[in-house]
Amino acid sequence: MAHEHDTASSDEVYDFAAIQRKWQPVWEELRPFRSGDPADKRPRKYILDMFPYPSGDLHMGHAEAYALGDVIARYWRQQGFNVMHPIGWDSFGLPAENAAIKRGIDPRGWTYDNIDQQKRSMKLYAASFDWDRELHTSDPEYYKWNQWLFLQMYKKGLAYRKDSWVNWDPVDQTVLANEQVLPDGTSERSGAVVVKKKLTQWYLRITDYADRLLDDLNQLEGRWPSKVLSMQRNWIGRSIGADVEFEIEGRDERVTVFTTRPDTLWGATFMVVAPDSDLAAELAAGSTDAVQERFADYLAEVQKSTEMERQSTDRPKTGIDLGRVAINPVTGERMPVWAADYVLADYGHGAVMAVPAHDQRDLDFARAFDLPIRVVVDVNAPVTGVIPVIGLDENGDPILPDEPDPLDPARTGVALAGEGRLMNSGPLDGLSKANAIKKVVELLEADGRGRAARNYRLRDWLISRQRYWGTPIPIIHGADGTEHPVPEDQLPVLLPDAAGLDLKPKGTSPLGAADAWVNVPNPVDGSPARRDADTMDTFVDSSWYWLRFLNPNDDEKAFDPREAEKWAPVDQYVGGVTHAILHLLYARFITKVLFDLGYLSFTEPFTALLNQGMVQMDGSAMSKSKGNLVRLSDQLEQHGVDAVRLTMAFAGPPEDDIDWADVSPVGSAKFLARAWRVAKDVTSSPDVQWKTGDPALRRVTHRFLADAPGLIEAFKFNVVVARLMELVNATRKAIDSGPGPADAAVREAAEVTAMALNLFAPYTAEDMWARLGYPPSVALAQWRKADSTLLIEETVVAVVQVDGKVRDRLEISPTIAADQLEDLARASAAVQRAVGDRGIVNVVVRAPRIVSISTRG
């Protein structure tokens, strides 16, 4: 009893652990996924998975992403392509630094230890990566080129420093992210009231590219998820309108405001400036002492409020009168100038013309402070000319709304944002909105008081981080405040050793305390100077890593434009929707910059994008605190790599979230065992003639071969798996109760199953392939061509509908002529019964599928 399984091979059972142990070293030896052979003549495909941040070990989210990306990479390899499918590590960033601070260790060691662990897991997971191209963004060999890129942008004026307001914790002496500030305005760490502080920060001028970033999204239509496209469009947030200049009494320079409704200029009754803008400070300074005092108090109040408070829309309006006067450029009216925090300093010009009758925010403000409201658009007379009436009088004439106008915004508190005819607007009277905008822009331009303009929600990209574990910014500051780029031949500016540095956040970079590192001679005259101590946002690293994969070990240049010509842009990018905005926007921006600099011949980095959903448990995101964490390592141990991967692919459309409670890795494992047994049961040898095989099973096999490629290319992986199950079921039936295990069609089906299963379950597929008599690797087996003669059915069933109901089914030839089919349908007894004596009025024939007969007109 004890040793039966050692001797009788037919008793062998599917043992995923043994199969994994068997094939992993074989692949390690064979390295079937290398893509760097210059003599390789196959056409190329660049399939890229978003590279991971190395924190701890792989989790379920990684498992899903890499399972799906691998289906695509393996598929194109089987279609005869030289597939580049690289992997690397996004290994700079805060988690490493926080862990280092907590445990008093070096972030470098923590990071590279994690990478070791994750790399082992990744290899077990058997994603078909080309490990020859592995890179780490925290290696000097990588971040040197971040610095190079920064310098190229600096030279072009695309990298610059400016002062900006940041959240400042006065107790911890540190900058806080918005997320670290609690809704009551205190620090989540120290409990201190957070204030705004002006700091000098590095920015990249992404707003210069706003139009291109927006307009080029059109090229990606249909190839990127529409959700991502709309998120990017929202984020860039282009508004079309006009800049209008207002004179200010007692000030030489005019104040410019941006508005999307220049047509309502006659209705502008006051001006509002952002309290935290330079303009507000200057206007206040030119006012009375009382105003200056009130302004100082108000500004302090505003700066105490958090981003979250400030952006909540249902907050009562606050503000103060600055005691200054603006002149409406078209009416010549004197308008008060207010400071209020509903106007943002960093959008437009930090000042607005308030048109309370037609803008809800301005109306709320006007009603709160008793400012004048003037209606200049008659929404009762919209462009269509239809005037809503209350009723008809005894003569049948329309009764118009009584005075006062029931829509009067001053009374209703509802701004009239709709379209209508202009009124109270001098030369604009009677015009529609579109024509009025055109006209007023012409008038302003002629007068030199305004022009058409556009604005963006998008802000410049703040890349300074006052932290240690990132790319040092390659700038040297002279004692006199001058900036000097580090000469390119002196790159990289290496991160100093963390030993001896206090990495705790304190508002200035820990690098500033590395005396030996930070103090350098001025490159111009050798006088004492200091290195810039900030490090770069890690989104800089990930904005171009896909180019570094082309030749990750090149120490002459960031990437090779000739290789980029061959491989780039990325044919298929795969990753989570969490990066739908920032990472993708930054990568698109850097691509356009590199195009402008002449390094690239294309302007979009990722031709196609697939977003996988998230893995959840019991309806919500997995987390330790919720107690619904599913550990990938446990799943792999219980069900095996292949079952987990297959489950990820089979769970549903890739972009949908997977609830692990809804799916069945046990079911996947059962299916894999079933497929594996089919291969084990095949008794014929590899040299059988396919043609001799059972035609029914062959038809199932070849329908699968014909349909699967289209399904894969449409990312319908779940459907392909279902079709594979169908194929395995049919093969099982053929073995047990059909032509038997020696039939050529059974072998053919088993081989096709192994070949296709390689996409989802590479270990099982490889073992099946070996049992069927072939050397590794099945991953290199080419996709079999479907035999088209087997796809044609001998007979098909046509349905006959009478008045939309199916009344008969006819077994016919697929090539039947329409009139012949109609005759058959008319002759059907069931159809005649259904038609009865009503008579046929119409017949629609779609041979060979359907005949539709109607009996009523």
Partner RNA sequence: GCCCCCGUAGCCCAACCGGCAGAGGCAGGCGACUUAAAAUCGCUUCAGUCAGGGUUCGAAUCCCUGCGGGGGCACCA
Residues annotated as binding site? 624
Per CB under 7 A, which region of 93-101, 129-137, 337-345, 744-752 contacts RNA? 337-345
Window 282 to 311, contacts with RNA (CB under 7 A): 310-311
- How many chain residues interact with RNA (CB under 7 A)? 80
- Alpha-carbon distance 63 to 632, whole Å? 8
Per CB under 7 A, which region of 119-127, 283-291, 343-351, 560-568 contacts RNA? 343-351
Q: Which of 148, 165, 347, 690 binds RNA (CB under 7 A)?
A: 347
User: Contact between 226 and RNA (CB under 7 A)?
Assistant: yes
Q: How far is the CB of 709 from RNA (least distance, A)?
A: 14
Q: How far is the CB of 549 from RNA (least distance, A)?
A: 29
User: Contact between 230 and RNA (CB under 7 A)?
Assistant: yes
Do 854 and 840 form a contact (C-beta atoms < 8 A)? yes
Determine how many CB atoms are found less than 10 A away from the CB of residue 332.
Answer: 8
Do 468 and 94 form a contact (C-beta atoms < 8 A)? no
Q: Which CB sits closer to RNA, 451 or 674?
A: 674
Q: How far is the CB of 321 from RNA (least distance, A)?
A: 17
User: Contact between 361 and RNA (CB under 7 A)?
Assistant: yes
- Alpha-carbon distance 533 to 517, whole Å? 9
Per CB under 7 A, which region of 54-62, 513-521, 635-643, 842-850 contacts RNA? 842-850
Instruction: Tell me the binding residues for ATP.
Output: 624
Q: How far is the CB of 704 from RNA (least distance, A)?
A: 10
CA 783 to chain centre: 32
Q: How far is the CB of 280 from RNA (least distance, A)?
A: 12
- Alpha-carbon distance 227 to 581, whole Å? 11
Window 725 to 744, contacts with RNA (CB under 7 A): 725-726, 729, 732-733, 736
Do 749 and 697 form a contact (C-beta atoms < 8 A)? yes
Q: Which CB sits closer to RNA, 4 or 525?
A: 4
Closest Cα to residue 86, out of 39, 120, 124, 136?
136
Window 597 to 656, contacts with RNA (CB under 7 A): 650-653, 656
Q: Which residues contact 176 (CB under 8 A, 6 or more apart)?
A: 166, 167, 168, 169, 187, 189, 194
In angstroms, what CA-CA distances link 581 with 222, 227, 539, 628?
Answer: 17, 11, 12, 28
Q: How far is the CB of 471 from RNA (least distance, A)?
A: 26
User: Contact between 723 and RNA (CB under 7 A)?
Assistant: yes
Check residue 652 and give left, alpha or beta (phi > 0: left; psi -120 to 50: alpha): left
**Which of 108-114's residues contact partners 24+ apart within 8 Å by CB, and which partners?**
108/138, 108/498, 111/54, 111/138, 111/469, 112/136, 114/54, 114/55, 114/56, 114/57
- Alpha-carbon distance 127 to 639, whole Å? 17
- Max distance between CA atoms of the chain, in angstroms, equals 108
Residue identified by tokens 């790399």 is: 119
User: Contact between 457 and RNA (CB under 7 A)?
Assistant: yes
Q: Which of 76, 546, 559, 671 binds RNA (CB under 7 A)?
A: 671
- Alpha-carbon distance 414 to 356, whole Å? 10
Q: Which CB sits closer to RNA, 154 or 650?
A: 650
User: Contact between 179 and RNA (CB under 7 A)?
Assistant: no
Q: From the CA atom positions of the chain, what is the Rg in Å?
A: 35
User: Contact between 818 and RNA (CB under 7 A)?
Assistant: no
Determine how many CB atoms are found less than 10 A away from the CB of residue 28.
Answer: 10
- Alpha-carbon distance 122 to 115, whole Å? 10
Window 691 to 710, contacts with RNA (CB under 7 A): none
Give me 216's structure tokens.
């080029």
What track of x and - describes contact with RNA for positions 774 through 813 (by CB under 7 A)? ----------------------xx-x-x-xx-x--x----
Per CB under 7 A, which region of 165-173, 254-262, 517-525, 779-787 contacts RNA? 254-262
Q: How far is the CB of 305 from RNA (least distance, A)?
A: 9
Q: Which CB sits closer to RNA, 99 or 231?
A: 231
Q: Which CB sits closer to RNA, 517 or 650?
A: 650
Q: Which CB sits closer to RNA, 347 or 369?
A: 347
Determine how many CB atoms are found less than 10 A away from the CB of residue 335.
Answer: 21
Q: Which residues contact 232 (CB under 8 A, 6 or more apart)?
A: 213, 214, 217, 580, 581, 584, 585
What track of x and - describes contact with RNA for positions 560 through 599 (by CB under 7 A)? ---------------------x------------------
Q: Which of 257, 357, 590, 648 binds RNA (CB under 7 A)?
A: 257
Q: How far is the CB of 626 from RNA (least distance, A)?
A: 15
User: Contact between 231 and RNA (CB under 7 A)?
Assistant: yes
Q: Which CB sits closer to RNA, 130 or 243?
A: 243
Do 280 and 339 form a contact (C-beta atoms < 8 A)? yes
Do 532 and 517 form a contact (C-beta atoms < 8 A)? no
Concatenating the DSSP letter of every residue in 256-306 gives EEEES-GGGGGG--EEEE-TTSHHHHHHHHTS-HHHHHHHHHHHHHHHHS-
Q: How far is the CB of 572 from RNA (least distance, A)?
A: 19
Q: Which CB sits closer to RNA, 130 or 694?
A: 694
